A and B are shown apart, each in its own frame.
Chain A
Amino acid sequence: MELSVFIVKSIIILAVFGVSLLIATYSTWAERKIAAFLQDRPGPNRAGIFGLLQPIADAGKMFFKEDFIPRQANKWLFIAGPSLAMLTACMTSAVVPFGDTVLVNGAEVTVQGIDINIGILYVFGVVSLGVYGVMIGGWASNNKFSLLGAIRAASQNISYELAMGLSIIAILMMSGSLSLRTIVEQQHGMNWNIFFQPVGFIIFLTCAFAECNRTPFDLPECETELIGGYHTEYSSMKLGFYLFAEYINMFVSSAVIAVLYFGGYNYPGMDWVRESLIGGLGLNWGHNLATLVGTMVFFGKIFFFIFFFMWVRWTLPRFRYDQLMNLGWKGLIPLAILNVVLTGAGLLAGTRLLSWVLILGVVLVATIQAGTARKRTVAAGRLSKV
C-alpha cells in the first residue's frame, strides 16, 4: 500500500473511532435534552451554552467518585465486565461504511474501517459478545439482583438475536452479499431496502431496541425490581463505561439500521451532485466533496435514529418479562420466518415487493376485524342503555 493511502486510511480509522466516541458522549447530553423537551422541561442548560459542557462535567464527576469493589466480588471479572462491554461496543463501528471512497493520488480509499466480505456477520458476532460484558459484570458482583439483571440481559439478547438474524436473511437474499459496502452500493440513489423490506425493518428495529437494552426492553436495569440491574454494585468510571457502552451501542445500531434499510450514504440525486461537483472542482476535489456530502447524509440518518431511540424511550413504558418473551418468540420470530418465505417467493417470481403483501394483509384483517368489533360494542352499548 502506498504511504499516502496508508496515512489517509489511518486518519479515516482514527476519525471513525473518535467520531463514534464523540457522538456517544453527546448522546448522553441529547438524551437528557430530548427527555426534558418531551416532558415540557428545558433540560440541562447551566454547564456551557445550552448545557453543552454537561457530558464533560458528568465524566469529571464519574472519574472523581470512589471506585468501589465489593469484598465478595471476583475482582478481575468485576473489572473485566465493563471493559468487555466497552471493547465490544467500540469494535462494531469498524465495518460500517461511513461513506463512498476518497481519491488520493489516483488511488481510491474507502471511508470505512475495513471492508470485510462478512461484514454483517462480524456485527452480529461482536454484538453477541456484548452480552459477556453484562453477564460477567452481573455475575462478578456477587449480588442476587445483579445476577438476575445479567440473566435477564443474556436471555433477552439471545432471544432477540434470533429474530434479528432472521429479519436480516431477507435482506441478504435480496443483496446476495454479506458485505455491508455491497449492501449499501445496491441501494444507490433511492433504492433503499425499506421500500422492499418494511416488515424486516420493523422486526430489525424492535430487536435493535432489545439488543441495546433500551426502553421498552430495558428489563436488565429495571429499577423497581432489580435496583440497578447488572450494574448495581458498580460505581465511578466502571459504571460510566457501562452507561457509555450503551450509548455507543445505540450509535452503532442506528448506523447499521441506516446501512441496511435506509441506504447508508445514498440519497436521491447523489449522481447529479457528484457530477456537478466534479464539473466545478475537478475529479479529485469533486469526488471527495461528493463523498463528504454522502457521509453527512449518512450521519443525518444516524442522528434521526438516535433521536428515535430516545423518542421511544420517553414514550413507551417497560414490557413485563413474559410479554417480552412472548413478543420475541411468538411474535417476531414467526413473523420474520414468514417474511423470509414471502421474500423468497417474490424473488422467484421476479419481484422484490412481495413483503408488502404481509403488511397489506395485516392491515386488511385488522380493519375488517376492528369494524366488526365496533358494531359489537355499539350493540352492547345500546343494550345497556335499555
Chain B
Amino acid sequence: MKLTNRSRKTDKSPMTIAERLYLPAIASGLGTTIKHFFQKKPTIQYPEQKREFSPVFRGLHVLKRDEQGRERCTACGLCAVACPAEAITMIAGEREPGQEHLYREEKYAEVYEINMLRCIFCGLCEEACPKAAIFLQPDKIAPAFYERDEVIFGKDRLVEKMDDRASVGIEKYTGVKS
C-alpha cells in the first residue's frame, strides 16, 4: 500500500555505457552551473541596502509618551503578567504634585526593565497594555550586546525621546493620534 504519492521507484538497472562514460553527465552538469553563472544574484548588500521589514514585524520595544510628552505607562503590571518569558519587571511610583508634565496618570513606573535575553518578541505585552504605552517597533531591531550588563534595558533605553518619536503608537489601534 502506498502511503503518499511522493514515493518513487528507484531505478536499479545497470548503467548504460553513456552513463558509465561520465562525460555526458559532466557536460550536462557544467551546463547547469554555467546557467547559474549568468543568473541575477539575489544577494542584498546589507549595510548599504536594507531589506524592507514586514509591516507586522515586532522589533525593539518602546515606552510611548503622549503628544504632550508625558509617559503613558501607569505601571499596572499587565504586560509583566502577559509576558510568557517573564522578561518584564517594574516598580511603581506615585506622581508628586508638580510632576504632571512628566507622567500622564497618578501612578507611573519608577523602574521599568526588560531582559532582552529573555524576551521572545511575541508582542503580548503590547496587546495587554490598556494605556497604549508599550509597543514593539516595526522598523527597529533590538541591538546586539557584547556584555552581560547591557542585556537588561531600563527606562533610559526604552522610553521614547521627544525629538525622535517612534513610528508606532496608539494610532495603530485607533487610527487617530492622541
Query: Interface of A with B (CB < 8 Å)?
Result: 34, 37-42, 45, 202, 311-312, 314-316, 362, 365-367, 369-370, 373, 376-377, 380, 384
Q: CA–CA, A45 to B45, complex, Å? A: 10
CB closest residue in chain B, given A381: B9
Residues on B with C-beta less than 8 A from A367 are 18
Residues on A with C-beta less than 8 A from B30 are 311-312, 315
CB closest residue in chain B, given A308: B30
Task: Please classify the interface of chain A as helix (H, G, I), strand (E, B), loop, or mixed, using the class held by over half of its residues.
Answer: helix
CB closest residue in chain A, given B37: A37
**B36 within 8 Å of A (CB atoms):** yes
Residues on A with C-beta less than 8 A from B39 are 40
| Smallest CB separation, A195 vs chain B (Å) | 18
Q: Interface size for chain B: under 10, 10 to 19, 20 to 34, or 35 or more residues? A: 20 to 34
Q: CA–CA, A34 to B37, complex, Å? A: 8
Evaluate contact between A41 and B18: CB separation under 8 angstroms: no
Q: CA–CA, A40 to B44, complex, Å? A: 12
Evaluate contact between B16 and A369: CB separation under 8 angstroms: yes
Evaluate contact between B29 and A315: CB separation under 8 angstroms: yes
CB closest residue in chain A, given B34: A311
User: Can you report 28 residue pairs joining A to B where beta carbons are below 8 Å apart?
Assistant: A34-B37, A37-B36, A37-B37, A37-B41, A38-B36, A39-B36, A40-B39, A40-B42, A41-B41, A41-B43, A42-B43, A311-B30, A311-B34, A312-B26, A312-B30, A314-B33, A315-B29, A315-B32, A316-B26, A366-B16, A366-B17, A367-B18, A369-B17, A369-B18, A370-B16, A377-B11, A380-B13, A384-B9
Q: Which 8 A-B pairs have the closest CB atoms?
A: A366-B18, A366-B17, A315-B33, A373-B16, A370-B16, A315-B29, A369-B17, A38-B33
| Smallest CB separation, A147 vs chain B (Å) | 30
**B21 within 8 Å of A (CB atoms):** yes
Evaluate contact between A365 and B37: CB separation under 8 angstroms: no
Evaluate contact between B41 and A42: CB separation under 8 angstroms: yes
Residues on A with C-beta less than 8 A from B42 are 40
Q: CA–CA, A345 to B42, complex, Å? A: 55
